[in-house]
Structure 1
Amino acid sequence: MPNDDVPTTARPTRPRRPGDTAPVRPRDVPTALRFRDDRRTAVERRRRRGELVRRRRGRYFPPVADDGGVALRRERTVLQLVGAVASTLRTDFVFSHETAALLHGLSHYRLGEQVHVSQAWKPPARPSGRQLRRHPVDVPPGDRTLVGGRPVTTLERTLVDCARSLPGDRSLVIADSALRAGADRRRVDRVLAEAAGRPGVRRARRIVALADARAESPGESLVRWHLDEHGFAPPDLAVPVLTEVGTCWVDLGWPDRRVGIEFDGAVKYSGGTYGDPSRRLVAEKRRHDALVEAGWIILRLVWADLTDPARLVDRVSRALASAEVRR
């Protein structure tokens, strides 16, 4: 996976105990500059200077900052589109699907560039443009909420909508994040049951069954997706291992084989809220050594490993085979 696809949501500081929810921060939606006749000359001048870009008819924003990689720039662009759509639609609507996940502040992977809204009426035959996807669905009041004052589908409805409509890897990242943020599994099951017979429900059932609040990062979700795709027994998550340095929590693993997988995002070695990078490296080395001395085989994965799922699967297969010989 190219670095540009790395999600912008970082993993929480280790260790987080199983069952903890991870508060999410709703995304901020920028306010559009609305075109008016008395602003025509000024707006056109600023457009020519590159100070404004048009996202929808009559709705302008400053250019997205060219920093943070492709994924972050795409997120900022979509949020501007959300602001433009929110200020132009006049009929009853609710932000839904991947757009709702973004507004809730959930983790995402390879975010699409369309804004999704659900409306109870079928949209007119004329196209809404490539940037807006209308879903002719009547979202009941119990599946609606407000985020930043804007109508958005609930965490549970968002999880199911994404699981029905997105590829498995992308939807599992959102599903894990939704559960981590506090989505109620019983409500998820209810929304899924109400969707019986509709497109994507079979796929959604698989995602809901795989989803786990204990997954701490999109990387862990993607590793589990690849393992499930290749028929591996589901690994446990947040596995406690007693070592000489205390209890260490392994991201993913098979305790009966004493094989574990640690997914390392480079962000935790970059300072900031994670502290001094050199101290983090020393602490991780000590922790890794303690796990090995406790009899565990530990595979360390980074984002680059997800570019080659076949190699990833081979590494896991060999580790499990070695553990079987050792038993």
Structure 2
Amino acid sequence: MPNQRAALVRRQHGLITAQAALDAGLERFEIAELLRSREWAKVRRGVYIDAEQWAGAEKWREQPLIEVRAAHLTLRRPHVFSHDSAALIHGLPLLRDDSRLVHVTRAGVTGSRRRNGIMQHGAAYTDDDVAQVGGLQALGIGRTALDICREHGYGAGLVACDAALRHGVPRSELLEIAGSMHHWPDITAGRAAVADADPGAESAGESMARILVKELQIGDPTTQFPVRRPNGKTAWLDLLVGCHAFEFDGRTKYRNVADGGVARRDAEAVVWEEKEREIDVLAQGLGVSRITWRDFWGAGRVAARTRLRREAELTAQRHGTVPPRELLAYAARMADARRQRLLIATAPDRLILPAR
């Protein structure tokens, strides 16, 4: 690609519009040939990307964010990104959404309307509600969390509100935002999610696991409970009720960072470490249950409730319902470390600034 076109792509995060390509000297038949030969991929009408870059982008976060940027290049009217699109921009976890809609909020629009893969929402906002992230304007984290509650319901909303607290948004701010939406549609789910939010959920799966565990009605789970291992390390349990721990296992735990996961070693090493960790936890007088994504939906959820309740009851029979004193004492000593663990520092390359 000539230098001029390459410079255009670099400035637009690997994207190029049809008009920019024409202005840079390409003919329409050349654009068609680049698409036909699969050297370029079409992100949306009139916006293209290098096909290898698109194929290498992670399906559930990187590709949707590319689609958000592509929409930004085509939208002519003033807008801010909101809902799921704002969550992607801020790096908030989302429940999987197959719709792949780009969400924007615009002043002066009545209701919501969907066109060409873009959902336009009409809702009031002020300049103070808008943040600049990576060259895009998006509604802030707190507002985004409440919008997701109203759009997708309690489960998705709890995932967003948990993450908002973990990103340092005070619960009082979430309550204030929810209060300002008093007469807005579906805000009841938002108020419930804010009340139940806990920054101890480190992923969407852990938030969903907490909802599932609460349905067992065996007690309120404590998030990120610390257990000291014989090797001196600390095992941070996802959820603990009495003497029973519940651990969420997502595939990203075992997938290498280069493939969109969080593992920095091969899968065998990660699995072995997990096994040793569980052995150490069991030796402390605790029981352990494993929860996966399939336990959250349909018949799988019904079966999971039966299994998890039975496993927790067996633990109560063996060890009682109150953790050993030494575990509680260690947890008290680790209180400051736990508080630090629950907050995510904003990375320098994701600096959030007021849009003004």
Pairwise same-fold verdict (TM > 0.5): yes
Match of 2:323 in 1: none
Match of 1:250 in 2: 237
Question: How far, CA to CA, are the matches of 1:242 and 1:47 in structure 2?
Answer: 56
Secondary structure of 2:27's counterpart equals helix
| Residues 102-142 of structure 1, C-alpha deviations (whole Å, 9 max, x = no match) | 011122221341111011112799x7524001111121112
Q: Which structure would you say has the larger Rg?
A: 2
Question: How far, CA to CA, are the matches of 1:300 and 1:180 in structure 2?
Answer: 23
Question: How far, CA to CA, are the matches of 2:270 and 2:69 in structure 1?
Answer: 39
Match of 2:304 in 1: 312
Match of 2:264 in 1: 274
1:119-130 → structure 2 map (5 Å cutoff): 119-122=106-109, 129-130=115-116
Question: How far, CA to CA, are the matches of 2:111 and 2:239 in structure 1?
Answer: 48
1:293 maps to 2:277? no
Match of 1:183 in 2: 169
- Structure whose residues are more often helix by fraction: 2
Question: How far, CA to CA, are the matches of 1:251 and 1:124 in structure 2?
Answer: 40
- For residues 276 and 54 of structure 1, do their structure 2 counterparts lie closer, same or farther at Cα, with a shift above 3 Å needed? closer
| Residues 178-225 of structure 1, C-alpha deviations (whole Å, 9 max, x = no match) | 322222322211111100121111111111222211112222112112
Match of 1:58 in 2: 46
Question: How far, CA to CA, are the matches of 1:218 and 1:45 in structure 2?
Answer: 41
Number of residue pairs matched by the alignment:
294
Q: Report sequence identity in percent.
A: 29
Residue identity in the other structure for 1:196:
H
Aligned 8 A contact 1:107 1:173 in 2:
yes
Aligned 8 A contact 1:93 1:117 in 2:
yes
Match of 2:248 in 1: 263
Question: How far, CA to CA, are the matches of 1:171 and 1:89 in structure 2?
Answer: 27
Task: Give the superposition deviation at 1:315.
Answer: 1.9
Task: Give the superposition deviation at 1:159.
Answer: 0.8
Aligned 8 A contact 2:130 2:140 in 1:
yes
Task: Give the superposition deviation at 1:297.
Answer: 0.8
Secondary structure of 2:59's counterpart equals helix
Residue identity in the other structure for 1:116:
H
In structure 1, runs of 5+ residues without a counterpart are: 1-27
Match of 2:147 in 1: 161
- For residues 47 and 250 of structure 1, do their structure 2 counterparts lie closer, same or farther at Cα, with a shift above 3 Å needed? same
Match of 2:324 in 1: none
- For residues 229 and 207 of structure 1, do their structure 2 counterparts lie closer, same or farther at Cα, with a shift above 3 Å needed? farther
Question: How far, CA to CA, are the matches of 1:123 and 1:41 in structure 2?
Answer: 41
258-267 vs 276-285, which moves further: 276-285
Aligned 8 A contact 2:93 2:159 in 1:
yes
Question: How far, CA to CA, are the matches of 1:80 and 1:248 in structure 2?
Answer: 36
Match of 2:349 in 1: none
1:225 maps to 2:211? yes
1:202-217 → structure 2 map (5 Å cutoff): 202-217=188-203
Task: Give the superposition deviation at 1:278.
Answer: 4.3
- For residues 270 and 53 of structure 1, do their structure 2 counterparts lie closer, same or farther at Cα, with a shift above 3 Å needed? closer
In structure 2, runs of 5+ residues without a counterpart are: 1-11, 258-262, 321-356
Question: How far, CA to CA, are the matches of 2:196 and 2:67 in structure 1?
Answer: 32
Aligned 8 A contact 2:14 2:50 in 1:
no
Secondary structure of 1:171's counterpart equals helix
Question: How far, CA to CA, are the matches of 1:107 and 1:48 in structure 2?
Answer: 35
Aligned 8 A contact 1:94 1:153 in 2:
yes
- TM-score normalised by length of structure 1: 0.79
Aligned 8 A contact 1:29 1:82 in 2:
no
Aligned 8 A contact 2:111 2:121 in 1:
no
Task: Give the superposition deviation at 1:264.
Answer: 2.5
Aligned 8 A contact 2:60 2:96 in 1:
no
Task: Give the superposition deviation at 1:265.
Answer: 2.9
2:32 aligns with one of 38, 44, 49: 44
Residue identity in the other structure for 2:292:
V
Q: Which has the higher contact order (CA 8 A, sep 6+)?
A: 1
- For residues 60 and 124 of structure 1, do their structure 2 counterparts lie closer, same or farther at Cα, with a shift above 3 Å needed? farther
- For residues 108 and 114 of structure 1, do their structure 2 counterparts lie closer, same or farther at Cα, with a shift above 3 Å needed? same
Question: How far, CA to CA, are the matches of 1:83 and 1:134 in structure 2?
Answer: 15
